[in-house]
Amino acid sequence: MASKWSSSRLRVDWRTSIGLVGTVVKYLSATLLIPLAVALFYGRDVLTFAVAFVITVIVGLALERVEPEPDLGTREGFLMVALTWLVVALVGTVPYLLAGMGTGSTLAHPINALFESMSGFTTTGATMMGEISFTQHSHALLLWRQLTQWLGGMGIVVLAVAILPELSVGGAQLMDAEAPGPGIEKLTPRIAETARVLWLVYLGFTVLEMVLLYGLHLGGLAPNMELFNAVSHALTTLPTGGFSPEARSIEAFSAAVQWLIIPFMIAAGANFALFWHALTGNPEKLTEDTEFRSYVGVIGVLTAVIAGLLFTGAGIETVTDAVPPIIGQIEDALRHALFNIVSIITTTGYANMDFTTWSAPAKTILLFAMFIGGSAGSTGSAIKIIRWVVIVKSLRRELFTTVHPEAVSPVRLAGRVIDERAIRGIYAFTLLYIGLFALASLLIVIDSWRVGYTISTLEATSAIASTLGNVGPGFGAVGPMNNYLAFPASSKLLMTFLMWIGRLEILPVLVLLTPSYWRT
């Protein structure tokens, strides 16, 4: 009997992929009931979310009616995953468009709404909102914005595999297509159970942060961390998203809130499978894991450098005359350095100060950190720590074999030999990533020049690094306290495309553009 995931298919049957996309969208429509309930409570945007729910259900049912073939091949899996993220982002624009009609909201423009929706689901955190406030936007709309990041964090397809029996067979290939880097560790005998385990750990961390944030408020340590804010920020910390209902991001909250969020960002950028091992009686997995040790080490080194720059005054361009006591000065430097380094490396995108005021060396370190990324199996994006670990080990191997050409020196990770084809794949991905970054940066500069929009090289490159790596904020005009609204429409569409392919780690989308993929 032919396998449901046969790799020997001679053509791509798009009907199978579209039918499954419809199934995912149909069930995803249920999440719109959450902001609908909030809209009913506050009495704003009720019709917006009622109509959005109906439209999403109709779209899901219409796509699901496309008659699928019973055989789902590997190539159909790539198409299904890529289309799922695109279609979900498209239907996610509906609440923004409906809520913005007649209000003068920047999100009433379809391109802006699509950018905001894609930024949410891909957990990028870049925004088109010119003003973030409850006077301009309803609680329900801002909650939807937060919820899109939480849904996209652990992966929409991973969630679908966890709850939909239609995807239980072939779930491993779908999950690999959604996160095509180092494979997702199979924690249980069945892949659907593994997907549920990952989502349970993810949910557990989210609820814990929510409770602790609100606890700080009840304890008098966070006056403006009311329940809505506690829920909103828990929903965007664990997916490394970075959206906030506060215009000044985490700067709007006390130092206690900032210190509390840091360990949750670190956890979100680590491999969630390690926490499952720790919870099931194997805590040594954390300390034994090469990637986790490298991840913590990089955070520690970059934090120390930035903290030193900030403490001495060399890390910030504008220094006030008032100098806090030495202990306060140390705490300020360490908190701002650690918070923003963790936020950028994990691609969360929160900020507890406007780091565009930092000096050139400090901003250069942050730009470098945008390319590091979180761990495999985390909600972080960018190139990811594990690839850099393998690259460093392979370069060390090349130096050794240059001196000792007769030596056989395989690259090892956690005691296991890494296949040479996997190493070549890591180099190919990294080169492709950097090449796309350079090309897109050039296109953004040219496009901005075309319409007369003045943008510096640092602003352009940071905007591309942030959208391709799903980081969120950049520098200057796209800094953490600003937005991407001023870019021309064509640049916004390019960055929307970059967020989409960056979340799927480029290959599952670009492979659809190759003739060999469609060749019969």
pLDDT at position 71 = 62
CB atoms within 10 A of CB 226: 13
CB atoms within 10 A of CB 64: 18
pLDDT at position 329 = 86
pLDDT at position 6 = 41
DSSP structure class, residue 11: S
Find, among 263, 287, 271, the residue nearest to 342 by Cα.
263
pLDDT at position 487 = 96
Residue 417 β-bridge partners = 412
CB atoms within 10 A of CB 356: 22
pLDDT at position 411 = 86
Q: How far apart are the C-alpha atoms of 449 and 447, rounded to whole Å? A: 5
Q: Is 316 helix (H, G, I), strand (E, B) or coil?
A: strand
pLDDT at position 518 = 77
Q: How far apart are the C-alpha atoms of 233 and 250, rounded to whole Å? A: 9
User: Left (φ > 0), alpha (ψ -120 to 50) or beta: where does 349 sit?
Assistant: left
CB 68 within 8 A of CB 19: yes
Q: pLDDT digit of tens for each residue in the chain (520 aa)?
A: 344 334 444 455 677 788 889 989 999 999 999 999 999 999 999 999 999 999 999 999 999 888 666 566 677 778 888 899 999 999 999 999 999 886 778 999 999 999 999 999 999 999 999 888 888 899 999 999 999 999 998 877 676 666 555 555 455 556 565 565 555 555 555 667 777 888 889 999 999 999 999 999 999 999 999 999 999 999 999 999 999 999 999 999 999 999 999 999 999 999 888 888 888 888 888 888 899 999 999 999 999 999 999 988 877 775 555 556 787 789 999 999 999 999 999 999 999 999 999 999 999 999 999 999 999 888 888 999 999 999 999 999 999 888 888 877 888 887 788 888 888 989 999 999 999 999 999 999 999 999 999 999 999 999 999 999 999 999 999 999 999 999 999 999 999 999 999 998 888 888 888 887 777 5
Residue 126 β-bridge partners = none
CB atoms within 10 A of CB 316: 18
User: Left (φ > 0), alpha (ψ -120 to 50) or beta: where does 482 sit?
Assistant: beta
pLDDT at position 312 = 87
Element (H, E) at 417: strand 416-417
The DSSP line for 254-300 is -HHHHHHHHHHHHHHTS-HHHHHHHHTT-THHHHH-HHHHHHHHHHH
| Residue found under tokens 């991407």 | 484
* Diameter over CA atoms, the chain: 77
Alpha-carbon Rg of the chain, whole angstroms?
A: 23
pLDDT at position 422 = 86
pTM value? 0.92
Q: How far apart are the C-alpha atoms of 336 and 9, rounded to whole Å? A: 53
Q: How far apart are the C-alpha atoms of 124 and 25, rounded to whole Å? A: 21
pLDDT at position 367 = 95
- Residues contacting 429, CB < 8 A, separation 6+: 181, 383, 387, 505, 506, 507
Q: Is 412 helix (H, G, I), strand (E, B) or coil?
A: strand
Per-residue tokens: 151: 């849904």
Find, among 500, 425, 520, 517, the residue nearest to 78 by Cα.
517
DSSP structure class, residue 175: H
pLDDT at position 8 = 42
pLDDT at position 173 = 56
Q: How far apart are the C-alpha atoms of 466 and 445, rounded to whole Å? A: 15
Find, among 319, 318, 315, 320, the residue nearest to 360 by Cα.
315
- Residues contacting 520, CB < 8 A, separation 6+: 10, 11
Long-range contacts formed by 55-59: CB under 8 A, 24+ apart:
55/91, 55/94, 56/25, 56/26, 56/28, 56/29, 56/32, 56/91, 56/94, 57/26, 57/29, 59/22, 59/25, 59/87, 59/91
Per-residue tokens: 500: 């989409």
- Residues contacting 30, CB < 8 A, separation 6+: none
Q: How far apart are the C-alpha atoms of 381 and 64, rounded to whole Å? A: 30
Q: How far apart are the C-alpha atoms of 325 and 65, rounded to whole Å? A: 67
Q: How far apart are the C-alpha atoms of 291 and 391, rounded to whole Å? A: 12
CB-count burial class (<10 Å; 0-12, 13-18, 19+) for 285: middle
CB 32 within 8 A of CB 49: yes
